[in-house]
Structure 1
Amino acid sequence: MAALDAVVDRLCCPVCRGSLRPDGRRLLCPAGHAFDIARQGYVNLVGGHRRHHGDDARMVTARERFLGAGHYGPLSSTLAELAAAHAPADDGIVVDLAGGTGHHLSAVLDASPHRYGLCVEASTHALRRAAKVHPRAAAIGADVWAPLPVRSGAAAVVLSVFGPRDVGEIERILGPWGVVVVATPLPGHLAELGRLVGGIGIDPRKPERLAASFRRFERLALHQVTRRIALGHGDVHAAMAMGPSARHLTDDDLARAIARIPEPVDVTVAVDVSVHRSQRH
């Protein structure tokens, strides 16, 4: 609750856009709209009908297992280093869009000890974990394709790691000289698993589409995180079950496919991490 209390003045009511304040186990706006705080510490700030429910329990558990094994450690470190290096000196928060369990946000906050963070996520299964991932991280339920329940100019850093993003909303919530740090998988990312197990591949036009979406921003940095990792069958299962392929493959499908591949299997991690600042400043 301490982190939520610390960032509540950066939030706004998703219904009327008014300010929010703590009121016992809920957040309340002047118009009387109230939002209950879950016992795990997160709060759902969804105005109206929920269009997206995010990852299910199976996907969130798989993601927590895979990330917890350290396979994306260099990616988390790169995100943290770039955020700390390029963020303005003000007290703006770090907003992690579609932040899942808050794994990468936690690393960024460790590298920026004066900042608080906010994980914005649709999945209640992920929010239960994100609310407890770091003492300076709060978590709210929201749809990243809808107007965010975040005040204009509240963020010093916006993180977007492998997730959907509304660039217009990112630009709105960034404060003066704020930056967005984006992680985008390259076509070779985990490609061996696609060939061996099946599933959905990476769109080769992703870098092109990213550049087009951030055309009003100046790119400040671009780093590639590339490495080879050796995965046992359990990690292969987690890698496949945590991503979009999980919506098309059952656990039985995965188990049969994984049983046919060698153990361990060498897999490529290939991710672009870029930093952008709006040119309106």
Structure 2
Amino acid sequence: MLICPKCKEPLVKQEKCFVCSNHHVYDIARQSYVNLSMKQKKHSGDNALMVKARSSFLESDVYDFMRQFVCQQLSIYEIKTLLDAGCGQGYYTKAFSQIVQSCVGIDLSKEAILYASKQDKKTQYIVSSFFDAPFTDSSFDGIVSIFVPQAADEFARLLQEKGIWIEVGPGPKHCLELKEVLYQTPYLNPMSSKELSNFELVKETILSQKKWIKDCWSLLEMTPYRYKTHPKALEKVKELQGMDVTIEFLIRIWRKK
């Protein structure tokens, strides 16, 4: 399943490393993850502070109703071999691993993968980009991607025939109340979707709940609005003592043609 990111030859697992036929060696970390990233930058993906903040918010289970829905879909579509693309610190992945026979989590953030691998010993975690994923063709019958960019061509390569891709993004009203604090004219998130040449759309669902959010700043840091908003407007969110916020997800289920 795993291939060498340098030469694309299959990787063979040995006691403490993966090795390809060209003798490229990748050590298995003490926490059981392996770094197959070709981008050896010091700060790729989320750093340790960002991982800690995201973990703290996610573990409050505000997003749990979406996680449960995705788990149900994995059962309905009888997914056995799953890739969680852009898995972050493994909040969703750990739950998915209880549903499927084999689960792999991939993320470019070494800090996020380190956190995930400490919490979840059942999943194989990989440090790498999912746009050039180090796996052989047709390695999985299911892929989940949650709040990450589309990589439709790569997902088509990785999926088996008729494989299922569950894509989760923000619904139209996601965090609307926060945007009413931030902007004079708050806007709904677009629902536009282009046709994908390698996939057919099987199902589209909007999940929505209102949640009391005590720490609105932590929620804001989970969104792109944190980086697109004037600092003075951001201060308003820091001053909030809590509020009801619409938590809404747009979930699309695609089948490989």
**TM-score, reference length from structure 1:** 0.81
Amino acid at match of 1:81: Q
Determine the structure 2 residue equivalent to 1:4.
none
Query: Which residue does 1:241 correspond to in 2?
Result: 221
Residue 181 of structure 1 aligns with which residue? 166
**Match for residue 7 of structure 1?**
none
Cα shift at 1:140: 0.5
Q: What is the distance in 2 between the residues matched to 1:148 and 1:250?
A: 36
Q: Which runs of 5+ in 1 are unaligned?
A: 1-9
Structure 1 Cα separation of the partners of residues 70 and 125 of structure 2: 19
The Cα offsets for residues 243-278 of structure 1, whole Å up to 9 and x where unpaired, read as 334556899995x433432x3300001111121111
User: Aligned pairs, how many?
Assistant: 255
Contact 2:153 2:198 in 1 (8 A): no
- RMSD across aligned C-alpha pairs, in angstroms? 2.6
3-state DSSP of counterpart to 1:16: coil
Structure 2 residue aligned with 1:59: 50
Aligned-partner Cα distance in 1 for 2:54–2:39: 29
Alpha-carbon distance in structure 2 between the residues aligned to 1:124 and 1:62: 16
- Give the Cα separation in 2 of the matches to 1:215 and 1:202: 30
Contact in 2 for aligned 1:84/1:108 (Cα 8 Å): no
- TM-superposed deviation, 1:174: 0.4
Offset from partner CA, 1:65-101 (integer Å, 9 cap, x none): 111011001100011111221245xx5x210111101
Which of 138, 155, 159 in structure 2 is aligned with 1:153?
138
- Unaligned 5+ residue runs, structure 2? none
Q: What amino acid is the match of 2:64? A: G
- Does the aligned pair in 1 maintain the 2:217–2:238 contact within 8 Å? no
Q: CA deviation at 1:16?
A: 1.1
Cα distance, 1:127–1:153 mapped onto 2, change above 3 Å: same
- 1:273 equivalent in structure 2: 251
Residue 202 of structure 2: which of 206, 217, 220 is its match?
220
Q: 1:236 to 1:48 in 2, by over 3 A?
A: closer
CA distance in 1, matches of 2:246, 2:13: 46
Give CA deviations for 1:99-154 in whole Å, capped at 9, x if unaligned: 10111122222233xx1111110111100122233332111111123x21011111
Q: Is the CA contact (8 Å cut-off) linking 1:186 and 1:202 kept in structure 2?
A: no
Relative distance call for 1:52 and 1:96 in structure 2 (3 A) is farther
Provide closer, same or farther for how the CA distance between residues 244 and 24 of structure 1 changes in structure 2, counting only shifts above 3 A: farther
Cα distance in 2 for partners of 1:36, 1:164 equals 29
Question: How far apart, CA to CA, are the structure 1 residues paired with 2:231 and 2:88?
Answer: 21
TM-score (norm 2): 0.88
Cα distance per residue 1:214-264 (max 9 Å; x no partner): 3431222222210000011xx31221223334556899995x433432x33
Match among 59, 84, 89 for residue 96 of structure 1: 84
Which aligned segments of 4 or more residues in structure 1 are displaced greater than 4 angstroms? Answer: 48-52, 245-254
**Matching residue of 1:68:** 59
1:127 is matched with 113
Distance in 2 of aligned mates of 1:202 and 1:175: 38
Residues 130 and 138 in structure 1, CA contact (< 8 A), matched pair in contact too: no
How much identity, in percent, do the aligned residues show? 23
Distance 1:47 1:224, change over 3 A: same
